[in-house]
């Protein structure tokens, strides 16, 4: 078991506790002895007192009895009567008090019949006094003698008892005094001993614990004031003080190491590798993370700065480009201004032209009106032609019908010729039947037949002619029909033309109005162009300001570029 | 039939035909008192036909006719001729002639003998002519047997002369 601080303090305190316990217990024991002795003394006093009281009570009874016997007055009996009752009480209390001593009890027991006897003697004397007036004097005297003997015996018994008790009292008083003395002695001695022992223990503890702690506290205060150069004494002890001093030594060393690392970081050296001592080394972890973060941040910053430098360079180039562009724009705007002036001239010209067009359109509207009138006249004419065509058509149709009738007639004639032919053949047959006599008739029949043939041929010719006529009439009908249709179409077209011309007239009127509007608009345009010219002038001014502005931008870009380069140099100071 | 025998049969036919024509030419001189016969000419399917006038009762236009059921196809129907009912024979069907074209076909030759009388359809009646029956050529061999049996011969004017008595007495044309 190692002697730890706790154990040391505990043992010191335990020593003190032991001393207190010893002193307390001895004091307690002595005190209780003393108390017991005191009680015994008190007891003896009470016994003596009771005995004396008993004797005095007996004397009271005797006194009362004597008074009565002498005087015969009943009032003298009062102390006697009260004494009778008190005697029993005293006896009783005496018996109680002397329970601890059998010897005293026996003596008290032997005393009791004597007392009874004395009392009965007294009573007899009182009775005797009452019986006869003044009583029997002799008897009284005899009784008085007897009573004196008993009384003396009682006095002796009580005197013995009192003296015994007094001896006991003396003995007890002596014991009490002895006890009190020993108690005082014990307390004194033990107090002195414990004072000495505890003083030694305290001194030892102070030397062993407090001084090293004070020293360590001094070191801790120095560390608290961030002074790491204080030397730490190492106690080669196994207890807490030794451990504490070692821990402080290690703490100081690690703090010094960390301070050195931080100093290195402060000197822009980020090459060092910080290893946390343990998992819970917050500072170590934090430093580790810080160095890492610084490293990455430095890298990022470096990259950012290189980007910044590049960008600044680009911005510089762009700004110079913008400047040249602005100059070009200025030139272009100057050209535009000239162009706008030309446009203004053109607008003036176009306004004049628009007025001219408006006049022409009004003339055209008049001409269109005339055209409309002539178209209406031609429509009227076309209607007349249509009526004429209808008449022609009717005539031709009639002609066609008539030629149809002629055809029917021809058919009838043809039928007649046919039947004549058949008749001729039949006549020839009949002639043949008649033989030689019918020969002449046969010739006639032949003639009839040839006539029929001829008429047939004639009708055929007529039919051919009629066919031609019919064809002609049919074509005439068709032509007339077509003519009629053509006239109708013509009429429709004329009407359509009229409509077109009307629309044209309307359009021309609208065009005329539009031309007037155009004229007005072009006037407004002229005004607008003037405004545009003014606006371009202000743009020109603005572009000049723009040029100066871009020049400033260029300068700013130049300074930005320089700043980037400076930053780059700054970052290069860091060792990674 | 092998080609040789075919050739022989052709030769035989040609020899017979030559012999026949030679005999007819030889017969011509001794026909002095021959009587000309009156022939009624008509056209049928663009061909000229003739028939002996003695068998013809009359010619007329066919105005209307009534077709009858249950008759052979060459009987066109019946018609009323002045109160008498006569049947109409269509020779174009009987002779198996082509039906193409639209001929007039509305003339009727009423032929008769003592037992029979019926009409023959004709496209057109061409007229009468005098023919010497002995001068006509007999039937030509290219005709079908039916045609051959009703045809008497053909004239120099290429008119086919019908055998009227044969037509009238033929049991084929008899309707019972």
**Tens of each residue's pLDDT in chain A, 576 residues:** 456 778 888 888 888 888 888 888 888 888 888 888 888 888 888 888 888 888 888 888 888 888 888 887 788 888 888 888 888 888 888 888 888 778 888 888 888 888 888 888 888 888 887 776 656 677 777 777 888 888 888 888 888 888 888 888 898 888 888 888 888 888 888 888 888 988 988 888 888 888 888 888 888 888 888 888 877 777 777 788 888 888 888 888 888 888 888 888 888 887 877 788 788 888 888 888 888 888 888 888 888 888 888 888 888 888 888 888 888 888 888 888 888 888 888 888 888 888 888 888 888 878 888 888 888 888 888 888 888 888 888 888 888 888 889 889 988 988 898 888 888 888 888 888 887 888 888 888 888 889 988 998 999 898 899 889 888 888 888 888 888 888 888 888 888 888 888 888 888 888 888 888 888 888 888 888 888 888 888 888 888 888 888 888 888 888 888 888 888 888 888 777
Q: What is the pLDDT of residue A454?
A: 92
Average pLDDT over residues B24-39: 62
Round to whole Å and give the CA distance between B64 and B74: 17
Confidence of residue B3 (pLDDT cuts 50, 70, 90): low
Contact A429 B60 (CB under 8 A): no
Residue B5 pLDDT > 60: yes
How far is residue A269's CA from residue A46's CA, in Å, rounded to a whole number?
Answer: 104
Interface of B with A (CB under 8 A): 38, 40, 53-54, 56-61, 107, 125, 127-128
Residue B41 confidence (pLDDT): 92
Asked if A61 is an interface residue toward chain B (Cβ–Cβ < 8 A), one would say no
pLDDT at B144: 65
- What percent of chain A is helix, strand and coil (3-state, nearest 5)? 90, 0, 10
Check residue B29 and give its pLDDT.
46
Q: Angle at CA A207, nearest 5°, toward A203 and A211? A: 140
In this predicted structure, the answer to whether residue B33 has a pLDDT above a threshold of 60 is: no
Structure confidence at residue B173 (pLDDT)? 67
Instruction: Please name the residue of chain B whose CA is at the shortest distance from the CA of residue A450.
Output: B127
Cβ-nearest to A429 among B40, B61, B107? B40
Q: How far apart are CA A223 and CA A259, in angstroms?
A: 12
Q: Is the dihedral of CA A58, A59, A64, A66 positive or negative?
A: positive
Determine the distance in angstroms separating the CA of A429 from the nearest CA of chain B, rounded to an integer.
Answer: 6
What pLDDT sits at residue A461?
Answer: 92
What residues in B contact A445, CB-CB < 8 Å?
128
Contact B38 A425 (CB under 8 A): no
φ and ψ at residue B34, rounded to 5 degrees? -85, 135
Two structure tokens written together for A144? 């008085």
Q: What is the pLDDT of residue A570?
A: 85
pLDDT at B1 over 60: no
- Position B31 scores a pLDDT of 47
Element (H, E) at A180: helix A137-205
Count CB-CB contacts under 10 A for residue A396.
20
| Rg (chain A; Cα; Å) | 88
Shortest Cα distance, chain A CAs vs residue B9, angstroms: 46
Taking the C-alpha atoms of residue A142 and residue A148, their distance in angstroms, rounded to an integer, is 10
With an 8 Å Cβ cutoff, are B107 and A425 in contact?
no
Intra-chain end-to-end CA distance of chain B, in Å: 44
pLDDT at position A356 = 87
């Amino acid at each position: 078991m190692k002697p730890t601080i706790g154990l040391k303090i505990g043992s010191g305190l335990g020593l003190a506790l032991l001393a207190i316990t010893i002193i307390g217990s001895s004091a307690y024991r002595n005190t209780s002895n003393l108390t017991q002795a005191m009680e015994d003394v008190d007891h003896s006093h009470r016994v003596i007192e009771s005995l004396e009281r008993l004797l005095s009570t007996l004397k009271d009874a005797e006194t009362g009895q004597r008074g009565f016997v002498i005087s015969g007055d009943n009032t003298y009996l009062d102390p006697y009567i009260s004494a009778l009752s008190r005697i029993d009480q005293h006896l009783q209390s005496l018996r109680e008090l002397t329970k601890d001593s059998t010897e005293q009890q026996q003596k008290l027991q032997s005393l009791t019949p004597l007392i009874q006897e004395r009392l009965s003697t007294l009573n007899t004397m009182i009775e005797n006094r009452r019986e006869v007036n003044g009583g029997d004097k002799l008897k009284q005297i005899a009784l008085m003698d007897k009573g004196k003997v008993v009384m003396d015996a009682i006095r002796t018994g009580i005197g013995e008892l009192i003296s015994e008790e007094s001896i006991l009292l003396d003995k007890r008083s002596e014991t009490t005094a002895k006890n009190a003395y020993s108690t005082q002695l014990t307390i004194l001695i033990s107090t002195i001993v414990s004072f000495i022992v505890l003083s030694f223990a305290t001194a030892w503890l102070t030397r062993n614990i407090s001084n090293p702690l004070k020293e360590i506290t001094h070191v801790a205060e120095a560390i608290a004031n961030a002074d790491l150069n204080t030397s730490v004494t190492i106690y080669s002890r196994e207890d807490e003080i030794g451990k504490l001093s070692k821990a402080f030594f290690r703490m100081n060393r690690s703090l010094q190491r960390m301070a050195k690392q931080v100093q290195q970081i402060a000197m822009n050296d980020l090459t060092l590798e910080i290893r946390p001592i343990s998992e819970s080394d917050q500072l170590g972890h934090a430093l580790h993370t810080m160095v890492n973060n610084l490293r990455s941040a430095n890298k990022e910053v470096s990259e950012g700065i290189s980007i910044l430098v590049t960008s600044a360079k680009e911005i510089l180039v762009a700004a110079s480009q913008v400047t040249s562009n602005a100059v070009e724009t200025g030139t272009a705007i100057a050209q535009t201004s000239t162009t706008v002036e030309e446009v203004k001239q053109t607008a003036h010209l176009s306004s004049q032209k628009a007025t001219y067009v408006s006049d022409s359109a009004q003339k055209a509207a008049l001409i269109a009106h005339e055209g409309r009138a002539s178209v209406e006249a031609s429509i009227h004419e076309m209607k007349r032609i249509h009526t004429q065509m209808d008449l022609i058509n009717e005539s031709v149709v009639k002609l066609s019908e008539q030629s149809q009738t002629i055809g029917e007639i021809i058919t009838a004639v043809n039928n007649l010729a046919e039947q004549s032919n058949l008749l001729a053949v039949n006549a020839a047959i009949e002639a043949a039947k008649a033989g030689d006599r019918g020969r002449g008739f046969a010739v006639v029949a032949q003639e009839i037949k040839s006539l029929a043939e001829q008429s047939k041929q004639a009708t055929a010719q007529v039919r051919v002619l009629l066919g031609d006529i019919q064809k002609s009439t049919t074509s005439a009908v068709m032509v007339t029909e077509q003519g009629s249709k053509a006239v109708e179409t013509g009429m429709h077209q004329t009407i359509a033309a009229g409509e077109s011309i009307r629309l044209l007239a309307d359009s021309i009127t609208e065009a005329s109005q539009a031309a007037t509007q155009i004229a007005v608009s072009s006037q407004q345009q002229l005004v607008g162009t003037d405004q545009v010219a003014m606006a371009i002038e202000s743009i020109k001014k603005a572009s000049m300001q723009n040029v100066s502005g871009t020049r400033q931008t260029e300068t700013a870009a130049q300074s930005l570029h320089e700043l980037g380069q400076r930053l780059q140099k700054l970052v290069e100071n860091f060792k990674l | 039939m092998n080609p040789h025998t075919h050739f022989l049969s052709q030769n035989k036919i040609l020899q017979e035909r030559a012999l026949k024509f030679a005999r007819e030419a030889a017969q011509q001189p001794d026909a002095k008192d021959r009587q000309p016969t009156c022939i009624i000419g008509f056209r049928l399917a663009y061909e000229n036909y003739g028939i002996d006038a003695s068998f013809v009762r009359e010619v007329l236009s066919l105005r209307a006719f009534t077709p009858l059921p249950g008759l052979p196809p060459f009987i066109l129907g019946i018609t009323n001729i002045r109160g008498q009912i006569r049947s109409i024979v269509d020779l174009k069907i009987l002779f198996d002639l082509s039906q193409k074209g639209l001929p007039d076909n509305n003339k009727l030759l009423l032929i008769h003998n003592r037992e029979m009388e019926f009409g023959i359809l004709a496209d057109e009646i061409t007229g009468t002519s005098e023919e010497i029956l002995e001068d006509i050529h007999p039937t030509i061999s290219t005709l079908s047997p039916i045609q051959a049996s009703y045809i008497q011969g053909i004239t120099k004017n290429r008119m086919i002369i019908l055998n009227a008595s044969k037509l009238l007495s033929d049991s084929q044309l008899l309707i019972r």
